[in-house]
Amino acid sequence: MELLERLRRCTGFQWDDGNAEKYWIRHRVSRSEAEEIFLNQPVVIADDDAHSAMEDRFCALGQTNRRRLLFLVFTIRRRQIRVISVRDMTRREREVYRTHE
């Protein structure tokens, strides 16, 4: 099944409480803010082949409702998006993202 179809079938998000706390402390990104990138356009998603040995992982570039640009790594488990990592985009990632606006 193609990735976009898998994402359309997702019904929510799954978070590891320890990781969510870590993202807040290190990067000041809340769970709800991270989830917003899937609701705003554009969102740019690519395979994360380097880290997909045990399960398919993906990288996403997107923006929050307040236009904060975030880089997010996730997987899909059952029908939920499981966030693995989230942070602000680097300068290079912002350049890539802007080519899709």
- Domain-wise residue ranges, the chain: 3-98
What is the token pair recorded at 1? 């099944």
Strand partners for 57:
none
Strand partners for 67:
none
Q: Using CA atoms in the order 42, 47, 48, 52, what is the torsion angle rounded to 10 degrees?
A: 140
Which tens digit of pLDDT belongs to each residue from 42-65? 999 998 766 556 778 999 999 999
Give pLDDT, residue 43: 94
Task: Indicate the pTM of the whole model.
Answer: 0.87
Which 3 state secondary structure label does DSSP give 87? Answer: strand
pLDDT tops 60 at residue 67? yes
CATH topology of domain 3-98: Nuclear Transport Factor 2; Chain: A, (3.10.450)
